[in-house]
Chain A
Amino acid sequence: AQRVTQPEKLLSVFKGAPVELKCNYSYSGSPELFWYVQYSRQRLQLLLRHISRESIKGFTADLNKGETSFHLKKPFAQEEDSAMYYCAPDRAGSYQLTFGKGTKLSVIP
């Protein structure tokens, strides 16, 4: 069965500490992977996608096909990073976009 797992419901870190939000997936074929973010009282929005290999707001995510993981990382957390983060595999070719259960990141000042 196709599945995406975000093992942590809540992650609390101090400002300036490194952050790693975990995502593991079980998908047939080669899905495209995304991280979406929802800040308080804002719409769900794209943070980054694995194909672009870019850094957005200091966040990066590396696709590890061997471990089927797509963890989101940032070396120094900021208070404005506090939000809900969702890992989202998109089944290639079908545009079917599914979401993990999400991790709430709380950055403590």
Chain B
Amino acid sequence: EAGVAQSPRYKIIEKRQSVAFWCNPISGHATLYWYQQILGQGPKLLIQFQNNGVVDDSQLPKDRFSAERLKGVDSTLKIQPAKLEDSAVYLCASKGRFPEAFFGQGTRLTVV
């Protein structure tokens, strides 16, 4: 089965610019997660979708971050405006009927 696809793989932007990441989960997976992984730390959950509804966005900095999952399939995560501390790898993961979560390769964001 095809894995979780993320794009772009790398992105460099200047602070105060905006950026968007895209995730295509495994077909049929209802649960989708976005994580932020800062260098040297574990993945931090930003937002969790169940189909196209938000289950948990308690750790999403809503003043600058937004995410949507239209039609309960693909998802986009946006940062506007970006700050230096947003430099991290952004991971997307999906989960189906079984508890195992499948991860994408991630998008490495560098804010300069």
A residues contacting B by CB (< 8 A) are 6, 9, 32, 34, 36, 43-46, 49, 51, 86, 90, 94-102
Considering only CB atoms, which chain A residue lies closest to B35 in the complex? A99
The distance in angstroms between the C-alpha atoms of A51 and B31, with both chains bound, is 20
Say whether B101 contacts A97, CB under 8 Å. yes
List B contacts of A46 (CB < 8 A).
100-101
Q: Are A98 and B45 in contact (CB under 8 A)?
A: yes
* Contact call B55/A43, Cβ cutoff below 8 A: no
Judge if B105 is at the interface, Cβ distance under 8 Å: yes
- Beta-carbon nearest neighbor of A97 in chain B: B101
Cβ contacts A to B, 23 pairs, < 8 Å: A6-B42, A36-B101, A43-B103, A43-B106, A44-B93, A46-B100, A49-B99, A95-B50, A95-B55, A95-B95, A96-B45, A96-B55, A96-B56, A97-B33, A97-B45, A97-B95, A97-B101, A99-B35, A99-B44, A100-B42, A101-B41, A101-B42, A102-B41
CA distance A102 to B89 in the complex (A): 15
- Report the bound CA distance from A97 to B45 in whole Å: 8
Interface set of B (CB-CB < 8 Å, partner A): 3, 31, 33, 35, 40-45, 48, 50, 55-56, 91, 93, 95, 99-106
Q: Which of B3, B42, B99 contacts A86 (CB 8 A)?
A: B42
Asked if B48 and A96 sit within 8 Å, CB to CB, the answer is yes
List the A side residues contacting B43 at CB < 8 Å.
Answer: 44, 86, 99
Nearest 7 Cβ contacts at the A-B interface: A99-B42, A44-B103, A101-B42, A46-B100, A102-B42, A99-B43, A43-B103
Task: Give, as a whole number of angstroms, the nearest-CB distance from B77 to chain A.
Answer: 17
**Which of B93, B95, B103 has the largest number of chain A CB atoms within 10 A?**
B103
The CA-CA distance from A96 to B47 in the complex, in Å, is: 10
Rounded to whole Å, the gap between the CB of B56 and the closest CB of chain A is 6
Within 8 Å by CB of A34, from B93, B99, B102, lies B99
Q: What residues on A are CB-neighbors of B42 within 8 Å?
A: 6, 86, 99-102
Residues of B contacting A90 in the complex (Cβ-Cβ under 8 angstroms): 99
